[in-house]
Amino acid sequence: MPLPVHADQAVPVYGNYHGYYSKRPFIQDPRLALLPAEFFVGKRVLDVGCNEGWVTCEIGQSRGARQVVGVDIDDTLIRAAWKRRRTVWSLQSPECGHLREESCPPPKRQRVLGDAPTTDHSAHNYFPASCEHSYGSLPIPNRGCGAFPHNVTFRTVDWVKDEIPDDPNQYDIVLGFSISKWIHLNNKDEGLKEFFYRVHQCLKMGGIFVLEPQPWDTYSKARRMSETLKENAKYLQLRPDGFGELLQELGFSHGQRLGVTGKGGFRRPVDVYLKQR
Protein backbone atom coordinates (compact mmCIF):
# COMPACT_ATOMS: atom_id res chain seq x y z
CA MET A 1 0.00 0.00 0.00
CA PRO A 2 1.28 3.49 -0.80
CA LEU A 3 1.92 5.92 1.98
CA PRO A 4 -0.56 8.70 1.37
CA VAL A 5 0.88 12.17 1.39
CA HIS A 6 -0.97 14.53 3.69
CA ALA A 7 -1.74 18.21 3.38
CA ASP A 8 0.43 19.07 6.34
CA GLN A 9 3.49 17.98 4.41
CA ALA A 10 4.99 21.42 4.00
CA VAL A 11 6.79 21.10 0.68
CA PRO A 12 4.94 19.76 -2.40
CA VAL A 13 7.85 17.59 -3.55
CA TYR A 14 5.55 15.51 -5.78
CA GLY A 15 4.11 18.61 -7.43
CA ASN A 16 1.19 18.00 -5.08
CA TYR A 17 0.19 21.62 -5.01
CA HIS A 18 -2.94 22.51 -3.13
CA GLY A 19 -4.96 25.19 -4.89
CA TYR A 20 -3.19 24.31 -8.16
CA TYR A 21 -6.17 25.36 -10.24
CA SER A 22 -6.29 28.79 -8.66
CA LYS A 23 -2.85 29.31 -10.26
CA ARG A 24 -3.84 27.52 -13.44
CA PRO A 25 -7.55 28.26 -13.67
CA PHE A 26 -9.73 27.17 -16.56
CA ILE A 27 -13.31 26.76 -17.61
CA GLN A 28 -12.41 24.30 -20.32
CA ASP A 29 -8.91 22.90 -19.95
CA PRO A 30 -6.71 24.25 -22.79
CA ARG A 31 -4.81 20.95 -23.05
CA LEU A 32 -8.01 19.00 -23.55
CA ALA A 33 -9.07 21.63 -26.08
CA LEU A 34 -6.17 20.50 -28.30
CA LEU A 35 -7.79 17.07 -28.65
CA PRO A 36 -10.57 16.34 -31.15
CA ALA A 37 -14.10 16.74 -29.78
CA GLU A 38 -14.85 13.00 -30.10
CA PHE A 39 -11.55 11.91 -28.56
CA PHE A 40 -12.90 10.65 -25.21
CA VAL A 41 -16.35 9.51 -26.30
CA GLY A 42 -17.09 6.04 -24.93
CA LYS A 43 -13.50 5.60 -23.71
CA ARG A 44 -11.96 4.29 -20.48
CA VAL A 45 -9.51 6.89 -19.26
CA LEU A 46 -6.80 7.04 -16.58
CA ASP A 47 -5.68 10.49 -15.40
CA VAL A 48 -2.34 10.04 -13.61
CA GLY A 49 -1.60 12.82 -11.12
CA CYS A 50 -5.14 14.16 -11.22
CA ASN A 51 -4.56 16.65 -8.38
CA GLU A 52 -7.98 18.07 -7.37
CA GLY A 53 -9.74 16.33 -10.23
CA TRP A 54 -10.69 19.26 -12.44
CA VAL A 55 -9.48 17.69 -15.66
CA THR A 56 -10.85 14.28 -14.66
CA CYS A 57 -14.31 15.74 -14.03
CA GLU A 58 -14.29 17.67 -17.30
CA ILE A 59 -13.56 14.49 -19.23
CA GLY A 60 -16.30 12.62 -17.34
CA GLN A 61 -18.90 15.36 -17.55
CA SER A 62 -18.58 17.00 -20.91
CA ARG A 63 -16.27 14.85 -23.05
CA GLY A 64 -18.43 11.73 -23.10
CA ALA A 65 -15.97 9.27 -21.49
CA ARG A 66 -17.39 5.92 -20.42
CA GLN A 67 -15.20 5.79 -17.33
CA VAL A 68 -12.53 8.08 -15.92
CA VAL A 69 -10.24 7.16 -13.04
CA GLY A 70 -8.15 9.89 -11.46
CA VAL A 71 -5.18 8.85 -9.32
CA ASP A 72 -2.93 10.96 -7.14
CA ILE A 73 -0.25 10.27 -4.56
CA ASP A 74 -1.69 12.91 -2.21
CA ASP A 75 -4.69 11.75 -0.23
CA THR A 76 -5.80 15.29 0.62
CA LEU A 77 -5.92 16.14 -3.07
CA ILE A 78 -7.96 13.03 -3.76
CA ARG A 79 -10.48 14.07 -1.12
CA ALA A 80 -10.63 17.49 -2.79
CA ALA A 81 -11.19 15.72 -6.12
CA TRP A 82 -14.21 13.83 -4.74
CA LYS A 83 -15.53 17.19 -3.53
CA ARG A 84 -14.93 18.71 -6.96
CA ARG A 85 -17.01 15.89 -8.44
CA ARG A 86 -19.92 16.79 -6.13
CA THR A 87 -19.55 20.47 -6.98
CA VAL A 88 -19.51 19.87 -10.72
CA TRP A 89 -22.56 17.65 -10.33
CA SER A 90 -24.36 20.29 -8.25
CA LEU A 91 -23.74 23.03 -10.77
CA GLN A 92 -24.91 21.03 -13.75
CA SER A 93 -27.77 22.73 -15.45
CA PRO A 94 -30.09 22.55 -18.25
CA GLU A 95 -28.45 22.68 -21.57
CA CYS A 96 -27.97 19.51 -23.53
CA GLY A 97 -25.62 18.99 -26.40
CA HIS A 98 -22.71 17.41 -24.58
CA LEU A 99 -21.04 14.32 -25.86
CA ARG A 100 -21.98 11.21 -24.00
CA GLU A 101 -22.76 7.55 -24.38
CA GLU A 102 -25.57 6.65 -26.72
CA SER A 103 -26.83 4.11 -24.22
CA CYS A 104 -27.18 6.61 -21.45
CA PRO A 105 -29.27 9.64 -22.28
CA PRO A 106 -28.22 12.81 -20.46
CA PRO A 107 -30.29 14.34 -17.72
CA LYS A 108 -32.66 16.84 -19.30
CA ARG A 109 -30.52 19.72 -18.16
CA GLN A 110 -26.81 19.84 -18.49
CA ARG A 111 -24.25 22.61 -18.42
CA VAL A 112 -20.48 22.66 -18.33
CA LEU A 113 -19.31 24.20 -15.08
CA GLY A 114 -18.48 27.83 -15.68
CA ASP A 115 -20.64 28.40 -18.75
CA ALA A 116 -22.77 31.49 -18.70
CA PRO A 117 -25.94 30.91 -16.69
CA THR A 118 -28.89 30.09 -18.84
CA THR A 119 -31.68 32.56 -19.40
CA ASP A 120 -34.14 29.72 -19.95
CA HIS A 121 -36.67 30.17 -17.15
CA SER A 122 -37.68 26.54 -17.37
CA ALA A 123 -34.25 25.78 -15.86
CA HIS A 124 -35.82 25.37 -12.47
CA ASN A 125 -33.35 22.77 -11.27
CA TYR A 126 -30.30 24.92 -11.89
CA PHE A 127 -28.32 25.16 -8.63
CA PRO A 128 -25.92 28.12 -8.69
CA ALA A 129 -22.58 28.16 -6.83
CA SER A 130 -24.01 30.47 -4.15
CA CYS A 131 -26.55 27.75 -3.26
CA GLU A 132 -23.78 25.20 -2.89
CA HIS A 133 -22.02 27.57 -0.49
CA SER A 134 -25.17 27.98 1.58
CA TYR A 135 -26.69 24.52 1.44
CA GLY A 136 -23.89 22.16 0.43
CA SER A 137 -23.72 20.02 -2.69
CA LEU A 138 -26.75 18.42 -4.27
CA PRO A 139 -27.00 14.73 -3.43
CA ILE A 140 -25.84 12.34 -6.10
CA PRO A 141 -28.55 9.80 -6.93
CA ASN A 142 -27.61 6.25 -5.97
CA ARG A 143 -28.71 4.80 -9.24
CA GLY A 144 -26.68 6.04 -12.12
CA CYS A 145 -26.64 4.72 -15.63
CA GLY A 146 -22.95 5.29 -16.10
CA ALA A 147 -23.15 8.99 -16.93
CA PHE A 148 -21.48 11.72 -14.91
CA PRO A 149 -20.82 11.69 -11.99
CA HIS A 150 -21.04 7.88 -11.80
CA ASN A 151 -18.40 7.48 -14.48
CA VAL A 152 -15.75 9.33 -12.42
CA THR A 153 -13.77 7.82 -9.53
CA PHE A 154 -10.60 8.72 -7.69
CA ARG A 155 -7.91 6.74 -5.90
CA THR A 156 -4.93 7.61 -3.76
CA VAL A 157 -1.88 5.77 -5.01
CA ASP A 158 1.74 6.19 -5.97
CA TRP A 159 0.94 4.95 -9.46
CA VAL A 160 4.59 4.46 -10.40
CA LYS A 161 4.90 1.81 -7.71
CA ASP A 162 1.43 0.39 -7.16
CA GLU A 163 -1.32 -0.99 -9.31
CA ILE A 164 -4.98 -0.12 -8.78
CA PRO A 165 -7.87 -2.55 -9.33
CA ASP A 166 -8.92 -0.69 -12.52
CA ASP A 167 -5.55 -1.22 -14.25
CA PRO A 168 -5.85 -4.87 -15.35
CA ASN A 169 -8.93 -4.06 -17.50
CA GLN A 170 -6.74 -1.64 -19.46
CA TYR A 171 -7.53 1.85 -20.64
CA ASP A 172 -8.17 3.42 -24.02
CA ILE A 173 -6.44 6.63 -22.98
CA VAL A 174 -3.88 7.53 -20.30
CA LEU A 175 -3.24 11.18 -19.45
CA GLY A 176 0.03 12.35 -17.94
CA PHE A 177 -0.37 16.10 -17.59
CA SER A 178 2.48 17.94 -15.84
CA ILE A 179 3.62 14.90 -13.91
CA SER A 180 6.75 13.54 -15.64
CA LYS A 181 9.10 16.00 -13.92
CA TRP A 182 7.86 14.99 -10.47
CA ILE A 183 8.13 11.29 -11.21
CA HIS A 184 11.57 11.86 -12.72
CA LEU A 185 12.93 13.90 -9.80
CA ASN A 186 11.53 11.56 -7.14
CA ASN A 187 12.33 8.24 -8.83
CA LYS A 188 15.26 9.09 -11.12
CA ASP A 189 15.64 7.76 -14.67
CA GLU A 190 14.66 4.21 -13.65
CA GLY A 191 11.42 5.44 -12.08
CA LEU A 192 10.48 7.46 -15.13
CA LYS A 193 11.14 4.47 -17.38
CA GLU A 194 9.01 2.35 -15.04
CA PHE A 195 6.21 4.91 -15.34
CA PHE A 196 6.30 4.78 -19.14
CA TYR A 197 6.45 0.99 -19.02
CA ARG A 198 3.38 0.90 -16.76
CA VAL A 199 1.48 3.27 -19.08
CA HIS A 200 2.28 0.94 -21.99
CA GLN A 201 1.16 -2.13 -20.01
CA CYS A 202 -2.12 -0.54 -18.95
CA LEU A 203 -3.12 0.69 -22.40
CA LYS A 204 -5.08 -1.42 -24.85
CA MET A 205 -3.49 -2.01 -28.24
CA GLY A 206 -4.28 1.14 -30.23
CA GLY A 207 -4.67 3.08 -26.99
CA ILE A 208 -3.30 6.59 -26.63
CA PHE A 209 -0.93 8.19 -24.15
CA VAL A 210 -1.34 11.95 -23.88
CA LEU A 211 1.74 13.48 -22.29
CA GLU A 212 2.39 17.04 -21.23
CA PRO A 213 6.07 16.91 -20.17
CA GLN A 214 7.59 19.78 -18.25
CA PRO A 215 10.62 21.20 -20.08
CA TRP A 216 14.10 20.52 -18.66
CA ASP A 217 14.69 24.17 -17.71
CA THR A 218 11.88 23.93 -15.14
CA TYR A 219 13.70 21.15 -13.24
CA SER A 220 16.24 23.47 -11.62
CA LYS A 221 13.66 25.29 -9.51
CA ALA A 222 11.81 22.07 -8.59
CA ARG A 223 14.89 20.22 -7.42
CA ARG A 224 15.61 22.93 -4.86
CA MET A 225 12.51 21.85 -2.98
CA SER A 226 14.33 19.13 -1.04
CA GLU A 227 17.73 17.57 -0.48
CA THR A 228 16.44 14.28 -1.93
CA LEU A 229 15.32 15.90 -5.17
CA LYS A 230 18.59 17.81 -5.38
CA GLU A 231 20.57 14.62 -4.91
CA ASN A 232 18.42 12.64 -7.36
CA ALA A 233 18.76 15.37 -9.98
CA LYS A 234 22.51 14.81 -10.10
CA TYR A 235 21.99 11.39 -11.63
CA LEU A 236 19.44 12.24 -14.30
CA GLN A 237 20.58 11.35 -17.80
CA LEU A 238 17.23 11.42 -19.56
CA ARG A 239 15.82 14.69 -20.87
CA PRO A 240 12.22 15.55 -21.78
CA ASP A 241 13.25 15.98 -25.42
CA GLY A 242 14.25 12.31 -25.40
CA PHE A 243 11.04 10.91 -23.90
CA GLY A 244 9.59 10.26 -27.37
CA GLU A 245 12.47 7.95 -28.22
CA LEU A 246 12.00 6.01 -24.99
CA LEU A 247 8.30 5.61 -25.68
CA GLN A 248 8.98 4.36 -29.19
CA GLU A 249 11.30 1.70 -27.79
CA LEU A 250 8.42 0.51 -25.63
CA GLY A 251 6.09 0.12 -28.61
CA PHE A 252 4.52 3.52 -29.05
CA SER A 253 4.30 5.41 -32.32
CA HIS A 254 6.39 8.43 -33.07
CA GLY A 255 4.90 11.22 -30.93
CA GLN A 256 2.65 13.79 -32.46
CA ARG A 257 2.84 17.29 -31.00
CA LEU A 258 -0.66 18.69 -30.74
CA GLY A 259 0.43 22.11 -29.64
CA VAL A 260 1.77 24.17 -26.78
CA THR A 261 -0.51 25.70 -24.18
CA GLY A 262 -0.22 27.73 -20.99
CA LYS A 263 1.45 30.95 -20.04
CA GLY A 264 4.72 31.75 -18.27
CA GLY A 265 6.02 28.77 -16.28
CA PHE A 266 3.03 26.70 -17.38
CA ARG A 267 3.87 26.92 -21.09
CA ARG A 268 4.21 23.28 -22.09
CA PRO A 269 3.76 21.02 -25.11
CA VAL A 270 1.13 18.32 -25.39
CA ASP A 271 2.16 15.15 -27.25
CA VAL A 272 0.20 12.02 -28.16
CA TYR A 273 1.58 8.50 -28.59
CA LEU A 274 -0.29 5.53 -30.00
CA LYS A 275 0.39 2.05 -28.61
CA GLN A 276 1.13 0.09 -31.78
CA ARG A 277 2.84 -3.03 -30.44
Ligand X SMILES: C[S@@+](CC[C@H](N)C(=O)[O-])C[C@H]1O[C@@H](n2cnc3c(N)ncnc32)[C@H](O)[C@@H]1O
| Interacting residues toward ligand X by CB under 6 A | 14-17, 20, 48-51, 55, 71-74, 77, 158-160, 177-179, 182-183
Quick check: bond before 149 cis, omega within 30?
A: yes
Q: For ligand X, give the closer residue by CB, 76 or 92.
A: 76
Q: Based on the number of CB atoms within 10 Å of its own CB, is 191 exposed (0-12), middle (13-18) or buried (19 or more)?
A: middle
Closer CB to ligand X, 139 or 264, in the complex: 264
Choice between 4 and 106, CB closer to ligand X: 4
Secondary structure in 3-state letters for 24-82: CCCCCCCCHHHCCCCCCCCCEEEEECCCCCHHHHHHHHHECCCEEEEEECEHHHHHHHH
Name the residue number minimizing CB distance to ligand X. Answer: 49
Contact 214, 181 (CB under 8 A): yes
Give least dist CB 79 to ligand X, A: 12
Burial class (CB in 10 A: 0-12, 13-18, 19+), 135: exposed
Closest distance to ligand X from the beta carbon of 133 (Å): 24
164 residue type, one letter: I
Q: Give least dist CB 202 to ligand X, A.
A: 13
Which residue type is seen at 250?
Answer: L
74 vs 271, which CB is nearer to ligand X?
Answer: 74
- Cβ proximity to ligand X, 172 vs 212, nearer residue: 212
Kindly state the smallest distance separating residue 51's Cβ from ligand X, in Å: 4
Of the candidates 32, 46, 54, which has an alpha carbon nearest to the alpha carbon of residue 155? 46
DSSP assignment of 94-135 equals S----B--TTSPPPS----TTSPPP--TT-TT---HHHHHHH
Region of 170 on the Ramachandran plot (φ > 0 left; ψ -120 to 50 alpha; else beta): left
Beta carbon of residue 204, minimum distance to ligand X (angstroms, whole number): 21
Q: What are phi and psi of 206, to 5 degrees?
A: 85, -5
The nearer residue to ligand X, 23 or 254, going by C-beta atoms, is: 23
Phi, psi of 105 (to 5 degrees): -60, 145
Minimum distance, C-beta of residue 54 to ligand X, in the bound complex (Å) = 7
Nearer to ligand X, 35 or 73 (CB): 73
Q: Nearest distance from residue 213's CB to ligand X, in Å?
A: 11
